Amino acid sequence: MSFTLLPGTRAPVRVWTDPATIEAEAAGQLRNIGSLPWVEGVAVMPDVHFGKGATVGSVIAMRQALAPAAVGVDIGCGMSAVRTSLTDADLPDDLGPLRRAIESAIPVGFNAHDEPVNPRRVHGMPTAGWDAFWATFTSLTPGVRQLEARATRQLGTLGGGNHFIEVCVEQGGPDAGRVWLMLHSGSRNIGKELAERHIAVARKLPHNADLPDRDLAVFVTGTPEMDAYRHDLTWAQEYAARNRAIMLALLCRVVREAVGRVRFDEPISCHHNYVAEERYGGVDLLVTRKGAIKAGRGDLGIIPGSMGTGSYIVRGLGNDDAYRSASHGAGRRMSRAKAKKTFTTQDLAEQTAGVECRKDAGVVDEIPGAYKDLGAVIAEQRDLVEVVAHLKQVVCVKG
């Protein structure tokens, strides 16, 4: 489909879904964003839903300004995936031991490694730039400097919520049956700590006094507050990318130990909570993607569903109207609280049949029924991306 303009905004808010299906709270957020004087335009993805500060599934293009709450607290959250030489026939009949091995190798939830992972001791792990990366920690906002030890031990850890690690099987096409490895995580506690401190600073700035939503407080280019945020933001985005790289290397090692000889293709990796400097229509813009991936022409991306419905590998079509973006997933259709009230563990077991995963009350809020239909979400953005592969998980690790 092509986009629809959301009425009642100063800047154009282009929507890649039926505006009538957008929840009222999310539509209100989009109108608030579109009213900000710094906003050049907004692209709304088909997985859009209500979020803190800004809607999840939105791409906000600003001139010389950034809203830290619109980036969110999980700075650099995103996806990584790699195709293997294995087929589903190479996987063990009982996938329980494989799931437990993954959970043993990669801490989940609030857990961390007992000792920091040494990237030079993990096969397949990129080793460049680590010393320079960690040397920058002392230049972050002073309030987080006591968290360095924790941050080093959380590198290579999953977290909780909607973060996951999966073993998937390609569906249909010439490579049907091929095994993929996939994971979803971000900048862990250190990203959250940085974001919350900068959001608090932005709210107190005089130019943000009359905003329609205090969570849309912005930093403006050329100010020390913006410089400090951009510095920490860039570091946290790199932390998130390195976090996923370590986990993917650890995951590959677990699979290699479980099945024996295996080859891995070049990994695909993409942020979906981040900021980038980009140029559209001859104008330099700061583009915030909150729950959206970069989909420039030829860019490979990952659009996951829920823990029972699979995911898509996609290739971007470079649509400038959407700031060369696409959705980051299926998107929630109900809150976590509502999901817990609506579904039972029996529902979870039924909706994740055939997937080796947790099926207890602790993950009912992640049940497939709490998410939008992924196939419909993909169909609504066929002018943004083309499908490369459809994957279905057989193992899913949740925090």
Name the residue among 100, 80, 82 with its Cα closest to residue 257.
100
- 123 noted as active-site residue: no
Active-site residue, selected from the candidate residues 198, 271, 272, 328? 328
Confidence grade of residue 342 (pLDDT, cut at 50, 70, 90): very high
What's the Cα-to-Cα distance from 314 to each of 44, 301, 354, 378, 392, rounded to whole Å?
18, 5, 25, 9, 15
pLDDT classification of 288: cutoffs 50, 70, 90:
very high
Its pTM stands at 0.96
The whole-number pLDDT of residue 120 equals 82
Q: Render the burial of 365-379: b for 16+ CB within 10 Å, e for the rest.
A: bbbbbbbbebeebbe
Q: Is the pLDDT of residue 103 over 90?
A: yes
Residue 53 is predicted with a pLDDT of 77
Q: Which of 166, 157, 143, 188 is nearest to 309 (CA)?
A: 166
How confident is residue 1, by pLDDT bands cut at 50, 70 and 90? Answer: low
- Average pLDDT of the chain? 95
Looking at residue 264, what DSSP letter applies?
A: B
